[in-house]
Amino acid sequence: MNAPPAAGADSPRAPSRLEERLCLWGGGLLLLLVGVALRLHNLTTVLVGGHFYFVDADCYSRLSRVRMVLAEPGKAVRQQFFENWPEGVQSHATAPLDYLIAALERVLHWGWPRFGRLGALSESSLDLAGAMVSPLLGLGLGLFVWTWARGFRLQDGSRPFWWWVAPLLVAVSPPLVHASVFGRPDHQSLLVLLLAVGLAAEQRLLHRPALGWAWAGGLCFGLALWVSLYEPLVLLGGVLAAGACFWRKAWGNRARVHWVVALALPLWAGWWIDGLQLVLPGGASLELLQRWAGTIGELGHIEDLSVLSGWGSHLWVCAPFGLWLAARQREPGAWGWLLLLVLGTALSLWQLRWAPYWGLLLALSLPHALSRAGSSPAVALAFLLAFVPLGLEWTARLLPDAPTRARRHLDRSELINARLAAERMRSAEVEPFIAVWWLSPALAYWSGQPAVAGSGHEGIEGIVDSARFFLSTDPIVAREILSARRVRTVVASDSARAVENASRILGCEPPEGALAERLWQPEPSREWGLKGETNVVNFRLLRVLPEAGAGG
């Protein structure tokens, strides 16, 4: 008679510790690769013909600042004269990102290959550094959130099964991807990383008053405030409110003293180096500033809540209920994360520029929100269905319809032709120019000449003067603007768009025979004091005649 099989012989073998580690790190590597690939999805639209065409107008202003830093190492750029000429502006931009890009430029300058296909970019190390800095910061964000979420523990010491959803959302959320996308050297990518560390430190301090997390959280919040006194200040206010109402344990220990000291150090450094002065427009220009802001997409409102599902999946709907359940079960931190998530959602509905911070708050709150969700097939199916809107959003972005492709092609063609125009403007002499505000930063960066308009709210006077000039029907008014601004070159571009945008800024109806349209005549009449190029299609440069009084 055969012996009966040993008990448990047919039961599945439990995975070894090595197999668990391989699965863990393999999954983490896969998420990081997906995150990097999405942040490089626009590579062929940013890098065209060996030249870089950045995502936003502000990117060119940032690189103009970095160029000044590279020319004078140790310099803090407090005044920018390449926009709002001749007064310049005291920009809200600060030194940390300037020097981060400058340091990366030095590394690429010495370490980038000089031969082969990549060698063609070796002479564009500044543009290359500007294009790469945000994806590298995005990679750092993914690594940090993966590490933090992997160490996440509930009150009973267990790790929630769905902890890895936090790094997954960081990798694929469209607003977070846009914040650190290729070709966007914007302070938003740095802020999201700093605020992620600062917010994650609060969760750790709830469980154990570790000095390391206190210093990390304080330093990152302080650096974030140095970089910008807007979003970090609002979120810090939310953290203080959460601490006063729900996180008293994290605020009633000795580690918080270290946190305050760590917070104060970057603020002192920022005050000493950059001044940290909040520049606000005067009352006379406030209405004009509001009209101009209405022409900027990231300052618009969300009117359809389904947009949030495309940004963060349907989990944005489930997260508040999950946090409420976790709070009912006395899970420390749940009420505070609920408060921050509600704050972030309200701000994102108000202004689109808050979308990356909302995505970050949602991702960091998910370990708490999903702490009681099981691992059954039904829960897994619900999880997959929740991510369907986000998948559809990426499908629309990566495989756009014909009108979207046509619009993107026209936008890229405009920048390519703007670069050609800027090359014709290069000169050893200072020859200020006037152009539409959204192209002025790029033209200034490529030509090395200062612009009347810019893309920052601090230079609203130059933006308004540019709008008045292109909308002018009176030669005397136009020549007065040229004289006051000491303009040498007028850049004519798409007249229909220039008239429409200027009318919105000035709050008036488009006039008949606006100067933006006259600039394309074979030769503007002499009363305008302009003499233009011939045989041009997309951009036309017109010289200001000496008798127009624009010299000096």
The enclosing domain of 469 has a CATH number of 3.40.50.12610
Examine residue 99 and state whether it is found in any structural domain, yes or no: yes
Residues 209, 99 share a domain: yes
Examine residue 350 and state whether it is found in any structural domain, yes or no: yes
Q: What band does 548 get if pLDDT is binned at 50, 70 and 90?
A: low
The full 3-state SS of 368-416, as one line of letters, equals HHCCCCCCCHHHHHHHHHHCHHHHHHHHHHHCCCHHHHHHHHHHHHHHH
Looking at the 3D structure of the chain, how many domains does it have?
A: 2
Q: In angstroms, rounded to a whole number, what is the distance separating the alpha carbons of residues 540 and 425? A: 11
Q: In angstroms, rounded to a whole number, what is the distance separating the alpha carbons of residues 313 and 382? A: 11
Report the pLDDT value the prediction gives residue 16, as an integer from 0 to 100: 63
Examine residue 87 and state whether it is found in any structural domain, yes or no: no
Note the pLDDT tens digit of each residue in 272-308.
998 866 655 544 477 888 888 888 888 888 888 889 9
Q: In angstroms, rounded to a whole number, what is the distance separating the alpha carbons of residues 515 and 474? A: 8
Residues 415, 522 share a domain: yes
Residues 414, 390 share a domain: no
C-alpha distances out from residue 103 to 69, 74, 124, 510, Å? 10, 12, 15, 47
- DSSP string of 423-480? HHH--SS---EE--TTTHHHHHHHH---BS--SSGGGHHHHHHHHHHHH---HHHHHH
Q: In angstroms, rounded to a whole number, what is the distance separating the alpha carbons of residues 535 and 371? A: 67
Average pLDDT over residues 202-209: 85
Residue ending a domain, choose from 398, 420, 449: 398
Residue % of the chain over a pLDDT of 90? 64
Report the pLDDT value the prediction gives residue 448, as an integer from 0 to 100: 95
Examine residue 37 and state whether it is found in any structural domain, yes or no: yes
Q: What band does 119 get if pLDDT is binned at 50, 70 and 90?
A: confident
**Taking all residues of the chain, what is their mean pLDDT, rounded to a whole number?**
89
Examine residue 150 and state whether it is found in any structural domain, yes or no: yes
Q: In angstroms, rounded to a whole number, what is the distance separating the alpha carbons of residues 195 and 191? A: 6
Average pLDDT over residues 158-165: 86
Q: Which residues of 120-147 are buried (b: 16+ CB within 10 A; e: fewer)?
A: ebeebbbbbbbbbbbbbbbbbbbbbbbe
Examine residue 329 and state whether it is found in any structural domain, yes or no: yes
Q: What band does 552 get if pLDDT is binned at 50, 70 and 90?
A: very low
Q: In angstroms, rounded to a whole number, what is the distance separating the alpha carbons of residues 101 and 38? A: 21
225 has a pLDDT exceeding 50: yes
Note the pLDDT tens digit of each residue in 450-470.
999 999 888 899 999 999 999
Contacts of residues 156-160 at CB distance under 8 Å and 24 or more positions apart, as own/partner, are: 160/367, 160/370, 160/371, 160/373
Report the pLDDT value the prediction gives residue 19, as an integer from 0 to 100: 61
State the Rg of the chain over Cα. 27
Residues 437, 306 share a domain: no
Residues 281, 193 share a domain: yes
Note the pLDDT tens digit of each residue in 431-452.
999 999 999 999 999 999 999 9
Residues 319, 282 share a domain: yes
Residues 450, 377 share a domain: no
Residues 214, 298 share a domain: yes
Domain hosting 415: range is 404-548
197 has a pLDDT exceeding 90: yes
Q: What band does 247 get if pLDDT is binned at 50, 70 and 90?
A: confident
Whole-model pTM?
A: 0.92
2 has a pLDDT exceeding 70: no
Per the model's pLDDT, the better-predicted residue between 524 and 477 turns out to be 477
Of 298, 70, 277, the residue nearest 178 (C-alpha): 298
48 has a pLDDT exceeding 80: yes
51 has a pLDDT exceeding 90: yes
Examine residue 76 and state whether it is found in any structural domain, yes or no: no
Q: What band does 8 get if pLDDT is binned at 50, 70 and 90?
A: very low
Examine residue 71 and state whether it is found in any structural domain, yes or no: no
Note the pLDDT tens digit of each residue in 365-399.
999 899 878 777 888 888 889 999 999 999 999 99
Residues 501, 437 share a domain: yes
Residue ending a domain, choose from 367, 398, 429: 398
Report the pLDDT value the prediction gives residue 533, as an integer from 0 to 100: 87
In the block, residue with structure tokens 């750029």: 77
Residues 226, 105 share a domain: yes
28 has a pLDDT exceeding 90: no
Per the model's pLDDT, the better-predicted residue between 495 and 26 turns out to be 495
Helix (H, G, I), strand (E, B) or coil at 313: coil
C-beta atoms surrounding 386 within 10 Å: 18
Residues 432, 319 share a domain: no
Residues 408, 378 share a domain: no
Residue ending a domain, choose from 381, 398, 415: 398
Phi, psi torsion values for 89, nearest 5 degrees: -135, 150
